[in-house]
A and B are shown apart, each in its own frame.
Chain A
Amino acid sequence: MSLLEIKNLNVRFGDASAVPVVDGLNLSVDKGQVLAIVGESGSGKSVTMMALMGLIDAPGRVNADALTFDGHNMLTLSARQRRQIVGKDMAMVFQDPMTALNPSYTVGFQIEEVLRLHLNMSKKQARQRAIELLETVEIPAAASRMNAYPHQLSGGMSQRVAIAMAIAGEPKLLIADEPTTALDVTIQAQIMDLLLKLQREQNMGLVLITHDLAVVAETAQRVCVMYAGQAVEVGQVPGLFDRPAHPYSEALLAAIPEHSLGAARLSTLPGIVPGRFDRPQGCLLSPRCPYVQDTCRQQRPALEPKAYSQVRCFFPLNQEVA
Chain B
Amino acid sequence: MNTSNTATEVDQSLLYPSPYKEFWHAFAQNKGAVAGLLFMSLIVFCAIFAPWVAPHNPSEQYRDFLLTPPVWLEGGNWQFLLGTDELGRDLLSRLIEGSRLSLLIGLSSVVISLIPGVILGLFAGFFPRLLGPGIMRLMDIMLALPSLLLAVAIVAILGPGLINTVIAIAVVSLPSYVRLTRAAVMGELSRDYVTAARLAGAGLPRLMFITVLPNCMAPLIVQATLSFSSAILDAAALGFLGLGVQPPTPEWGTMLASARDYIERAWWVVTLPGLTILLSVLAINLMGDGLRDALDPKLKNAA
Query: Which A85-100 residues sit within 8 Å CB-CB of chain B?
Result: 85-88, 91-92, 94-96, 99-100
Q: Please report B residues at the A interface, Cβ cutoff 8 Å.
A: 8, 11-12, 15-16, 19, 129, 191-193, 195-203, 211, 214-215, 217, 297
B199-A92 in contact (CB<8A): yes
CB distance from B245 to the nearest CB of A (A): 39
A102-B193 in contact (CB<8A): yes
Q: Which 10 A-B pairs have the closest CB atoms?
A: A87-B201, A104-B214, A87-B200, A83-B201, A100-B192, A99-B192, A144-B12, A102-B193, A94-B192, A99-B191
- Give A80 to B203 CA distance when docked, in angstroms: 8
Contact residues in A for B215 (Cβ distance below 8 Å): 102-104
Q: How many A-B residue pairs have CB under 8 A?
A: 71
Decide: A144 near B15, CB < 8 A? Known: A86-B201, A87-B201, A104-B215. Answer: yes
- Give A83 to B195 CA distance when docked, in angstroms: 13
A95-B192 in contact (CB<8A): yes
CB distance from B177 to the nearest CB of A (A): 19
Q: Which A residue sits closest to B191, measured CB to CB?
A: A99
- Give A248 to B26 CA distance when docked, in angstroms: 54
B198-A55 in contact (CB<8A): yes
Q: Please report A residues at the B interface, Cβ cutoff 8 Å.
A: 53, 55, 58, 79-80, 82-88, 91-92, 94-96, 99-105, 113-114, 117-118, 144, 147-149, 151-152, 162, 165
- Give A53 to B193 CA distance when docked, in angstroms: 15
Q: Which A residue sits closest to B17, measured CB to CB?
A: A152
A92-B196 in contact (CB<8A): yes
Partner of A118, one of B8, B15, B201, B203: B201
Contact residues in B for A118 (Cβ distance below 8 Å): 200-201
Contact residues in A for B195 (Cβ distance below 8 Å): 55, 94
- Give A103 to B203 CA distance when docked, in angstroms: 19
Known: A95-B192, A148-B16. 4 other contacts (CB 8 A): A55-B195, A91-B199, A99-B191, A101-B196
- Give A83 to B202 CA distance when docked, in angstroms: 7
Contact residues in B for A147 (Cβ distance below 8 Å): 12, 16
- Give A151 to B300 CA distance when docked, in angstroms: 15
A100-B193 in contact (CB<8A): yes
CB distance from A144 to the nearest CB of B (A): 4
Which of A82, A102, A149: most chain B CB closer than 10 A? A102
Contact residues in A for B193 (Cβ distance below 8 Å): 99-103
- Would you give 29 A-B contacts (Cβ < 8 Å), ordered by A? A55-B195, A55-B198, A82-B201, A84-B201, A86-B200, A87-B199, A87-B202, A91-B200, A92-B196, A92-B199, A99-B191, A99-B192, A99-B193, A100-B192, A101-B193, A101-B196, A102-B197, A102-B211, A102-B214, A103-B215, A104-B214, A104-B215, A113-B200, A114-B200, A144-B8, A144-B11, A147-B12, A147-B16, A149-B19
- Give A102 to B203 CA distance when docked, in angstroms: 16
A58-B19 in contact (CB<8A): no
CB distance from B292 to the nearest CB of A (A): 17
- Give A225 to B12 CA distance when docked, in angstroms: 47
Contact residues in B for A82 (Cβ distance below 8 Å): 201
- Give A16 to B199 CA distance when docked, in angstroms: 27
Partner of A105, one of B11, B199, B200, B214: B214
Contact residues in A for B11 (Cβ distance below 8 Å): 144
A165-B12 in contact (CB<8A): no
Contact residues in A for B203 (Cβ distance below 8 Å): 79-80, 83
Q: Which B residue sits closest to A97, measured CB to CB?
A: B192
- Give A91 to B201 CA distance when docked, in angstroms: 10
